[in-house]
Structures are given as structure tokens and as C-alpha cells.
Amino acid sequence: MSDKIILTIDGQEIQAPQDSTIQQVLESINKPAPLICAHEATTPEGLCRQCVVEVEGWRVLAPSCVTKINEGMVIHTASERVIRSRRTILEMLNASVDLSEAPELQEQMDEFGADRERFPHAKTREQEVKDDNPFFVRDYEKCLMCWRCVQACGDDIQYTYSISVGGRGFESKISTFFDSPMPETSCVFCGNCVAVCPTNALKSKTEFFMEQGLDYDEIRREKRAEKKKMGGGK
């Protein structure tokens, strides 16, 4: 019995392994759907819905990163409904989160014709920059709650579980348990959370303060002093 099934994508008949997701098939034919929450190092969760496609006969759009293919599926990756959905998601994110340092999302906004001024009176996610360790800063005004950092800190890479989600609704945010400073958590400062962040909400402390115009040597001295306070030696 063959483990391949046949489906149609944008008018093209495709044969693919039956346990594939739509996104895996799209990648195999060089037509990947745009992503925000998914990353090659983390598990797809279907949170952002930016990768949606239209499946004939389905009432709602399907997130391609988590939707498995079925025999005979007819999929449209660039229908008017799909483009409108992706554009609106970007416009809503841009209205409430600082995406100025998210080049991939800026490119997506250009690609899908997003209006950066569509929601001028939207409430923004205002939070203070958290500078509580020698290695990186957390600027959650840039955080769009994609969960990549939580996954990298947890089951997908590091297994330290020092960060999670706190709050509810619009006030939900990436946080530590009891909102503790990072050095008081189980964090080992591996940097994986920083590496997977798509918006620079997490950033190397050296890079962050050099962008503020501070001297590199001064930053290094400060970091060494902080490490000593944490018991890190010289």
C-alpha cells in the first residue's frame, strides 16, 4: 500500500507522503507559506495563523504548519481570502506591537500590501525594558507572543522552563514565574530564546546598549561586575 497521496495546490497536482503537513508539502515545491510563530528549531503550534491557506470545502482557513494533508485536497495558497487574512493579521500586530526591528515581518507587510496606519487608535503593549542580567535585555513592547522563546526554553531545546506566559487577554505576556528577575529563575543563559525571537524583543545586552550609544568597553566592565554579583567569578 502506497504511503503517498495526491492533492492539488494552486492547480498543480502534487504527490506527497500522507503524514505531511500542508506547510511541508509547500516547502517541497518551493512555495512555503509565510510564518511568524513557527521556527525550524521549535514545534509548530498554529498560533499566529499567518500561514493559513484555503482548502476547498472547508469553512475556515487552515493553518498550514499544523494541518495534515488528505487525499484529494484542493488547496489555494494565494486566494483573495488568504491574502486578506494575512494582511489583516500583520496590520493588527503592527498596531499594538513595535515591529520596527522585525525585518521578516516588515517584508511580509510589503508583500501583502499591509496598511501600517490602519488602526491608529489601537492600544499598544506598553512595558518597561527588563535589564536584570549580564547577558540580554527583554523589551516586551516588541513581543508579539509567538511562543518561540517559551518553546526554546522548554521541551524543544533547553528543558529549563524559566519563562512562560503570564496575565490574561490583552494583558497576557511572556514572563517568569512570579515575574522574578531572570537570575532568580532556572535560566542558564544559553541564549536560545534570543536566537529564535523574530522581533528583537530579546537582544544581546552588548548589542542593545551599543545601539544606545554606550561605549563597548564600558558595557563589558558592567557585565563583568554583574557576573561577579551572580557568583560568576572573573
Q: What are phi and psi of 106, to 5 degrees?
A: -65, -40
* Residue from 28, 29, 88, 25 nearest 55 by CA: 25
Give the per-residue pLDDT at 206.
84
CATH architecture label of 4-78: Roll (3.10)
pLDDT digits 0-9 by tens, 18-65: 999 999 999 999 999 999 999 999 999 999 999 999 999 999 999 999
Q: What band does 218 get if pLDDT is binned at 50, 70 and 90?
A: confident
Q: What band does 1 get if pLDDT is binned at 50, 70 and 90?
A: very low
Mean pLDDT of 170-185: 90
Mean pLDDT of 119-134: 88
The CA distance from 215 to 211, in Å, is 10
Q: Is the pLDDT of residue 233 over 60?
A: no
Pick the CATH number of 136-229 from 3.30.70.20, 1.10.3720.10, 2.60.120.10, 1.20.1630.10: 3.30.70.20
Mean pLDDT of 71-81: 97
Domain segments of the chain as ranges = 4-78, 136-229
Mean pLDDT of 122-134: 88
Q: What band does 187 get if pLDDT is binned at 50, 70 and 90?
A: very high
- How many CB atoms sit inside 10 A of residue 210's CB? 14
Give the per-residue pLDDT at 205.
86
pTM score of the predicted model: 0.85
